[in-house]
Structure 1
Amino acid sequence: MALSWTLAALSLLPLLDAQSPVCANLTAAPITNATLDQLLASPQISGKWFYLASAFHNPEFNQSVRTIHAAFFYFTPNHTDDTILLREYLTIGNQCIYNSSYLKVQRENGTLSKHEFGKEQFADLLLTKDPKIFMLGFSLRDEQNKGLSFYADKAEVTEEQMRVFHEAIKCLGIQTSEINYTDAKKDLCGPLEKQQKEERQKEKEGHTALD
């Protein structure tokens, strides 16, 4: 599904300098083994993230995100083969859609990618000082296709956290009126998430019993 993989960006980049201008920090940094090893030990890795908002000039991306009413995801990174397992729950229309897929990690230029729209799509990973939020940048130097998406570890964020996203949007020359927001109250994936958690727990207990 268009843009679905962007819902699972892994926080692979060093923290951006909070004292620097926002626009100066909208650049991906190289991903190193040390960065991956540090993040693999982080409790955030197994955590739950929410897709909250985005704004795109790319017409295909913009059309796709407009259909997403609510979304959250889990991911599991593998620094050995430079991939990330994505498990995402999307509420589109009146139904919940679950997807499981793998993202590729490009270490040297600090990006994630997945094959969509007939080609490999790339996104820069961008963080701020606040480890509870992050952004993904798309074609940031391309006026016709640039875009930015915003994620957090909760379905609702503070005014300060949202301000970080709004400032970045303005820095890119995108109007705040162009932003598409999700609404956690419209989420329909809670029951499926609960069911899958119970199934995984039973499977885990079954393996433990066999051991």
Structure 2
Amino acid sequence: MVALGEIELKDAARQAAGNWQDFNCFVWFRRSELAKPKDWAVIYTHNRDSGLLDQSNASVIRAALKPFTEGDDPDVVVESHSHWAVGHVSGFSVRVFRRGQITKAFRTYHELAESMEDYPILDETDYSNRESEATFENLEHAAWRLKREFDLPENWQDETYSWLSDSRPNSLENTDDQGGWPDDDDLTAAFEALGYERVE
């Protein structure tokens, strides 16, 4: 099936409306609450194991669609469904057609889908911030063994991140879309340069 962002709006709307009927092993209980469930599409943006890019884009999409989630009869409803392989998948159900016309909500999503086809990152700043935050959090795990070999101060993560950023920026590069993960050599160099003493 062609990605919605690769085709024109009208074709994308026809393809998306009622797409949930084609999902394997899927039961959408909310369909019973809708007068015309075939006018709706279920669109997933991320899952439990999603990388930083999907998380970032999902956040941008959520913000763009938020105005359409309000009111008594919204055109967008936040969805999260359990999945045997990835724990859960999350996204939205979007009303594609209202009284035969393509909704503004679907038009908004389609514009974002087109943007992602042209360039995968919807918001460079958001994605960059997520990379930095993940890398900082990864320091604790990356240094799990070395932490026993050095007497580290409380703010060692801040100091180590700053030193690596200045002296070995390659060690902080995003890996597998999960943030940077410096190796033992980089961390040892940082600890020694920062004057952290080895534990006897």
TM-score (structure 1 length as normaliser): 0.25
Higher relative contact order (Cα pairs below 8 Å, separated by 6+ residues): 1
Which is higher, the Rg of structure 1 or of structure 2?
Answer: 2
TM-score (structure 2 length as normaliser): 0.26
